[in-house]
Structure 1
Amino acid sequence: MKTLRERKKQRTRESLLRAALELFTTQGYEHTTVDEIAEAADVSQRTFFRYFAGKEDAAFAVQDMTEQHFLACVRTRPAHESPMEALRQAVLEGWDAIRETVESAVPVELYLRMYRTIESTPALLAAHLRRSAATEETIARLLAEREGVDPDTDPRPRLAVAVFGGVIRVTERQWCTGEDFSLESIRQLTASHLDLVGPALTGNWRASGAGRPD
């Protein structure tokens, strides 16, 4: 059970986080200052920096939480699952817990708005890609440890994660430009796109005649 001081610190962090995301999504990331975030949360700039290293840290705080949850899910997947199956099940079975993780920090609607802001803000998108690369390396090493291989000599862990990460990025962008921004929508898109990985890599795309010119 958290102490009174710990609960107070958590409330302050959540207040700062909500204030930051609201400002980022309404007036723009680059037009928002740390002073404005602190003022909106009714704290000092010094207090802001006790909880976040800067604006970028606040912008990706909830996403970092969801990624840590995903990594924990991968670590607990049954040993008999193949690497790709472990990644697939970790993301699909973890959506409800991911929703709870998001809701513990900010409203889901605000999280979704922030995601679209990241996609449409060059500085945030660049940071997102940089952070994603670091996360993918962590996952690759986790898979290598799980499978008992050396990721520096065996390319399979990084290849598997590159494919999986590509699917997730395609899914996120399609979801972001669609009309249904619910977490259930992105879960369904993720499942359907992961199902297409095998056929997309090894199948004959022209076999069905789909997409062929007349």
Structure 2
Amino acid sequence: MENLRERKKQRTREALLRAALELFTTRGYERTTVDDVVAAVDVSQRTFFRYFANKEEAALAVVELAVAHFVEAVRARPPHEAPMEVLRQAVVEGWDSLNDVIESVVPVELYLRMYQVIESTPVLLAAHLRRSMESEEALARIIAEREGLDVAADPRPRLVVAVFSGVMRMTERQWSTGADFGLDAMRSLTVSYLEQVGPALAGDWRTN
């Protein structure tokens, strides 16, 4: 009975999430109300707030799921890998499983459309960046633990995470304003930019 109840709760949450993202991506985040979302699923406002604190939490829920997936992928990397390689391999090798994680909740196409809404909606972008800072701190602590370092005393874990996160932000921005909004395009762009980090930081850019 308990498992049945939990599955019903999960289905309700996912229905609310899909309805919210569909409305945010078609009508616009600011023009969509909680009443609109619950009407689409035929539940009460009380039910919505049982699963989400507010509209923002619903809008960022799948992105947060993807971030959590990446953090766990970093934790699982082999101990011999260098910090930047850990981050790079976690994101590159995690694409296929990320697709499955997202599809278990909403269609990937809807997730990608929502990402564009986040990038173009100031209040959501600010919230996304704020949460990204929290994730960066978690990643820095994981890297520090892997390397046997004190994150409070050694700046390198936070530095390497900051460089990596900067590349990912640039990738997201470039992808969201490009012509190809597919997951493969985002993956290719990510790999291309990550491969340029070493040469960009250590190379001489001048040609004369």
Q: Does 1:152 align with 2:160?
A: no
| Distance in 2 (alpha carbons) for counterparts of 1:8 and 1:173 | 37
Q: Does 1:204 align with 2:207?
A: no
Runs of 4+ aligned structure 1 residues displaced above 3 Å come to: none
Task: Report what 1:96 is aligned to.
Answer: 96
Query: In the alignment, residue 8 of structure 2 is paired with which amino acid?
Result: K
Q: Percent identity?
A: 68
Q: Which moved more, 1:197-206 or 1:152-161?
A: 197-206
| Distance in 1 (alpha carbons) for counterparts of 2:19 and 2:75 | 33
| Distance in 1 (alpha carbons) for counterparts of 2:43 and 2:205 | 57
Report how far residue 206 of structure 1 moved.
Answer: 2.0
- More relative contact order in 1 or in 2 (CA 8 Å, sep 6+)? 2
Give secondary structure in 1 for the equivalent of 2:205. Answer: coil
Query: In the alignment, residue 45 of structure 2 is paired with which amino acid?
Result: Q
Matches within 5 A, 1:27-42: 27-42=27-42
Task: Report what 2:194 is aligned to.
Answer: 194
Across the two proteins, how many residue pairs are aligned to each other?
A: 207
When the two chains are superposed, the root-mean-square deviation of aligned CA atoms in Å is 1.1
Task: Report what 2:182 is aligned to.
Answer: 182
- TM-score normalised over the length of structure 1: 0.94
Deviation string for 1:117-155 (max 9, x for gaps)? Answer: 000001011111111111101100111111110111100
Structure 2 unaligned spans of 5+? none
Structure 1 unaligned spans of 5+? 210-214
| Distance in 2 (alpha carbons) for counterparts of 1:83 and 1:66 | 20
Report how far residue 190 of structure 1 moved.
Answer: 0.8
| Distance in 1 (alpha carbons) for counterparts of 2:102 and 2:181 | 15
Query: In the alignment, residue 170 of structure 1 is paired with which amino acid?
Result: M
